[in-house]
DNA sequence: AAACAATGCAACCGCACGTTT
DNA sequence: GAAACGTGCGGTTGCATTGTT
């Protein structure tokens, strides 16, 4: 069995004092972010190593950006959450100076939930509740359409090529509404997905040279099979 | 001014996962 | 291969602050 990370009877809990903060800052400045387990004792703190790590990452780290989220940050959170779900650390990784805890708190704040609802999006599952949200043009031919599935769809320019990224959540292959001819509604065109996504829950990336309906049908079938066999969603990438 | 509700945020907890022994 | 360890993540809680009645 695993031993507890610290002796809880001898550790402080709750809010950190200025003295504790300073001890932690001084120690990390001198030694860097080394073994967190050893930090409390070495720094003279009556705290659990995990608590020290959290305090440093979420509050004391010099790169942490304080203050309200700007509108572009808010938009990016909404878009990335539609694509990645509650993977707060991945989302925070695209927001310089923001921590996963901060993004998570912000997402769960009434402010953002109200905004999403006003856009017609269910904050819990990103389902479109009416046809006002996330209108997008279809590929390069500017057709607009709306729908009601949870597939995420995004376009961005990577290596000067137009890339459409379709993310297929667990439940999207089951409903009859997922006709391959549907123009699924998900994310707006302006999402820059120039990012390296390491999604451990995805079985694989499926790439196609052309995103025709036949290709999409075939890829969906493949993804559905993988989902049934592995219980994991598949990321579909069309070029 | 007081009471209550709503909100924001820091921190804790348990679990999962990769690494080391 | 199994157990122990260290770390990171996401969910949840609790408290302080702010707004409303």
Tens-place pLDDT, residues A167-188: 444 334 333 334 433 334 344 4
Is residue A102 very low, low, confident or very high in pLDDT (cuts 50, 70, 90)? very high
Q: Which of A37-44's residues contact partners 24+ apart within 8 Å by CB, and which partners?
A: A37/A5, A37/A6, A40/A6, A40/A11
CB A154 within 8 A of CB A187: yes
CA–C1' span, A51 to B9, in Å? 16
- Distance from residue A53 (CA) to nucleotide C6 (C1'), in Å? 12
- Assign domain A8-60 to its CATH architecture: Orthogonal Bundle (1.10)
Q: What is the pLDDT of residues A105-143, one digit of tens each?
A: 999 888 888 888 777 776 666 655 443 333 332 333 333
Which residue has the closest alpha carbon to C3 C1'?
Answer: A1
Q: Is the CB of A3 under 7 A from strand B?
A: no
Number of other CB atoms surrounding residue A113 within 10 Å: 15
Nucleotides of B under 7 A from a protein CB: 6-14, 17-18
- Angstrom distance, A111 CA to B4 C1': 21
Residue A190's SS3 state is coil
Query: What is the location of CATH 1.10.10.60 in chain A?
Result: 8-60, 71-118
Better pLDDT: A68 or A216: A68
The two structure tokens encoding residue A11:
């550790």
**Nucleic strand C interface residues, CB < 7 Å:** A 1-3, 5, 14-15, 34-37, 49-50, 53, 86-90, 100-101, 104-105, 108
**Contact, A203 CB vs strand B, < 7 Å:** no
The CATH number of the domain covering residues in A71-118 = 1.10.10.60
């Amino acid at each position: 069995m695993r031993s507890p990370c610290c002796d809880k009877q001898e550790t402080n809990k709750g809010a950190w004092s200025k003295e504790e903060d300073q001890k932690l800052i001084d120690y990390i400045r001198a030694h860097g972010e080394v073994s967190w387990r050893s930090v409390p004792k070495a720094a003279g703190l009556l705290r659990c190593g995990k608590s020290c790590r959290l305090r440093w990452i979420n509050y004391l780290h010099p790169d942490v950006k304080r203050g309200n989220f700007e509108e572009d940050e808010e938009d990016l959170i909404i878009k990335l959450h539609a694509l990645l779900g509650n993977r707060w650390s991945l989302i925070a990784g695209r927001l310089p100076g923001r921590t996963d805890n901060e993004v998570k708190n912000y997402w769960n704040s009434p402010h953002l939930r109200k905004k999403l609802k006003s856009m017609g999006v269910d904050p819990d599952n990103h389902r479109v509740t009416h046809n006002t949200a996330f209108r997008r043009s279809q590929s390069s031919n500017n057709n607009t359409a709306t729908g009601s599935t949870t597939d995420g769809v995004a376009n961005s320019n990577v290596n000067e090529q137009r890339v459409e990224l379709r993310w297929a959540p667990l439940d999207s292959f089951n409903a009859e509404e997922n006709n391959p001819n549907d123009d699924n509604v998900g994310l707006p065109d302006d999402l820059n997905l120039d990012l390296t996504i390491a999604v451990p829950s995805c079985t694989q990336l499926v790439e196609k040279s052309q995103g025709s309906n036949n290709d999409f049908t075939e890829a969906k079938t493949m993804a559905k099979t993988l989902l049934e066999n592995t219980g994991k969603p598949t990321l579909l990438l069309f070029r």
